[in-house]
Amino acid sequence: MTALLTVENVEKRFGGGRSLFGGAKRAVHAVQGVDIAVNKGETLGIVGESGCGKSTLARMLVGLDRPSARSIRIEGIDPSDFERGNTRVLAKKIQYVFQDPVSSLNPRKTIRTILETPMIHLLGLDKPAREARLEELMQAVKLSPEFLDRYPHEFSGGQAQRIGIARALAAGPELIILDEPVSALDVSVQAQVLNLLADLQQRFDLTYVFISHDLSVVESVSDRVAVMYFGRIVEHAEARELFRQPRHPYTKLLFDAAPVPGKRSVRGEAEPAELPDPYAPPPGCAFAPRCPNVRDRCRSERPTLAADQPSPTHAAACFFPVEA
């Protein structure tokens, strides 16, 4: 399998620099030292809670945010395009599906205008070609062509998300970043959209990066999963393996905290626990203050994501991983 997209040691800092009077401004590392590779045709799931940097990472992958170091590569594209946020080049290869389907569609444009925009600006298609492509897209996302001349507010969340997906498909990308594509949807509609995404992946040979906070959704769609905490990847493995045997205590906590219908199974923390202060990150492991099996070493030294685990594809950034 070949890697379609590789990300090495990518970093995103917000703030920083100097103020008008020369004082250093405080900086927040939203994403730090993230390495991932996405293989052709697979779905990489990225799981994490709010503030873990997963959306920032996703936005860097399409050029909406610029990485602080030149470190994202995709075949056929100059890495500097990521650095310059050159979406016009990137958008032909990588597209994005937004979390909130309604606010990702301009309320004053018809669906036709919205879907034609990438065809005009990215592909330069003429009118008959656009018509054909529109028909193909609407059929692909299972919407009736009569919807083309309507405005976004006339659609329900699920329908709007299909249009969002159609917009992403319009330019014929290879990779689609799905940023919480179903979290704003009702559960019954969520399943429709997940099934649709699976169909489209098969049909157009797409590669997905699927970002979500919902473990069960990520488990059901992903081939491989990366777990993020406080701007870093803390665990990374084949989906099956990760869900069968989480190694990082944070992953374990996530699993234990997720409610399962029909079971009274949630084992959360007794005491309230939060993310560390992003302006003053701890020197050691960011999870140490919440970790049930924390030791002294964890507080002073930061563990790296190492694959010295039983399986070569299963890596966890932890000195004392959870035993099976």
Partner 1 sequence: MTAASDTVVAKPAKSARPSSFRLLTNNRLAALGLIVLGIVVALALLTPILPLDNPDVTDPADRLLPPGTAGHLLGTDHLGRDILSRLLWGTRVSLAVGLSATLIAAFFGSLIGLVAGYFGGRTDALLMRSIDMLMAFPYILLALGIVAVLGPGLLNALYAIAVVNIPFFARNIRGVTRGLAHREFVDAARLSGKGHAGVLFTEVLPNVLPVIVITMSSTVGWMILETAGLSFLGLGVQPPQADLGSMLGEGRKLLFNAPFVSVIPGLMIFALVMSINLIGDGVRDVLDPRLRSGALARPSARTRVDRREVPAMPDRETDDALDVIDLKTEFTVGSSVYRAVGGVSLDLKDKECLGLVGESGSGKSVTAMSVLGLVATPPGAIVGGRVVVDGADLLEVSDETLRGLRGGKISMIFQDPLSTLHPLFTVGDQIAEAIRSHHPVGHAEAWKRSVALLELVRIPNARERASSYPHELSGGMRQRVCIAMALANDSDVLIADEPTTALDVTVQAQVLRLLDDLRREKGAAVLFITHDFGVVSEICDRVAVMYAGRIVELGTTDDVLSRPAHPYTRKLIDCVPILGDPDRRLDAIEGLPPTVNRLPPGCAFADRCPRVRDDCRAGEIALADIGDRQVRCLYPLVETEE
Using CB atoms within 10 Å of the CB of residue 161, give its burial: 0 to 12 exposed, 13 to 18 middle, 19+ buried.
buried
Q: Which stretch binds partner 1 (CB under 8 A): 5-13, 27-35, 100-108, 278-286?
A: 100-108
The contact pattern for partner 1, residues 158-177, with x = CB under 8 A and - = no contact, is xx----x--xx-xx------
CB of 76 to partner 1, least distance (A): 17
Among 40, 73, 109, 130, binds partner 1 (CB under 8 A): 109
Whole-angstrom distance, CA of residue 71 vs CA of residue 51: 22
H/E stretch holding 163: helix 157-170
Residue 250's identity, in one-letter code, is Y
Residue 201 interacts with partner 1 (CB under 8 A)?
Answer: no
Does 80 contact partner 1 by CB under 8 A? no
Cβ atoms of 20 and 185 within 8 Å: the answer is no
The span from the CA of 250 to the CA of 322, in Å, is: 10
End-to-end CA gap in the chain: 29
Residues 127-156 that bind partner 1 (CB under 8 A): 139, 142-144, 147, 150, 154-156
The three-class DSSP label of residue 309 is coil
Shortest distance in whole angstroms from residue 73 CB to partner 1: 19
Task: For the CB of residue 207, give the shortest distance to partner 1 in the complex, in Å.
Answer: 17
Contact (CB, 8 A) for 196 and 116: no
Subset of 18-77 contacting partner 1 (CB under 8 A): 49-50, 59, 62, 64
DSSP, residue by residue, 230-297: TTEEEEEEEHHHHHHS--SHHHHHHHHHS--TT-------SS---PPPTTS--SS-TTGGG-TT--HH
Instruction: Kindly identify the residues of this chain, within the stretch 262-281, that bind partner 1 according to CB under 8 A.
Output: 262-275
CB nearer to partner 1: pick between 179 and 303: 179
Q: How far is the CB of 9 from partner 1 (least distance, A)?
A: 25
The window from 35-43, 191-199, 201-209, 230-238 that contacts partner 1 (CB under 8 A) reads 191-199
Minimum gap (Å) between residue 158 Cβ and partner 1: 7
